[in-house]
Amino acid sequence: MNDLLIIKKYAQSVAEVMEHDELQICLKDVKILKDIFVEQPKLIEILKTRLVSKQQKTLLIQDVVNELHFSEMWEKLFLLLIHHLRFHQIVNILKELESEIYYKQNTLIVSLKLAHKQDKSTTDKIIAYLEGIYKKDVIAEIEYDPELLGGFYAESETMIVDGSLKNNLKIFVTKKQPKQV
């Protein structure tokens, strides 16, 4: 629980210092950093270990953030995380920051599970349906789950929309059950 609050605080703090026109640029930085740390988990291990000197970590961080638009801010954040022994949470912080930025832009990231690959038209209709429910623009992170049989299952931080065939069958069976007297 404590880690979740800390992750949220770091992400909110970074998002708060951004001007509205800087949000998209920051989002690009976040995506680059997420890719780096997800593809190179050993880098996180190096930056969180006490076996590497602070000077070496600083040089490594500077190499990582050198080409980013907000390089100075990232360097300070990373050094702060290292100092407080929280660098292992960097990917979670970046994901939360991404959500915060999208929230400021009235956009929501939704995990969308489909039974199988759909054509673009069908996927667009599902996303439009979700936008009507969430009252926000939706960015769908699509996964395939054959256990759904059909339909979709969408999940955000705040709401689940279960439009799966399995769920619809459960509802149908429940409605068809005779009432107990």
Domain extent listing, the chain = 2-103, 107-176
Per-residue model confidence (pLDDT) at position 1: 54
Per-residue model confidence (pLDDT) at position 23: 92
Buried b (16+ CB within 10 A) or exposed e, 65-89: beebebeebbbebbbebbeeebbeb
Mean pLDDT of 64-73: 95
Per-residue model confidence (pLDDT) at position 3: 82
pLDDT (tens digit per residue) in 82-139:
999 899 999 999 999 998 999 888 999 999 999 889 999 999 999 999 999 999 999 9
Per-residue model confidence (pLDDT) at position 178: 65
| Predicted TM-score (pTM) of this structure | 0.74
Q: Is the pLDDT of residue 2 over 80?
A: no
Q: Is the pLDDT of residue 18 over 90?
A: no
Per-residue model confidence (pLDDT) at position 180: 62
Helices (H), the chain: 2-16, 23-39, 41-48, 54-65, 71-83, 90-104, 120-134, 165-176
Q: Please give the mean pLDDT across all residues of the chain.
A: 90
Mean pLDDT of 44-60: 93
User: Are the CB atoms for 89 and 6 separated by under 8 Å?
Assistant: yes
pLDDT (tens digit per residue) in 30-39:
999 999 999 9
Per-residue model confidence (pLDDT) at position 20: 86
pLDDT band for position 168 (cuts 50, 70, 90): confident
Mean pLDDT of 57-80: 95
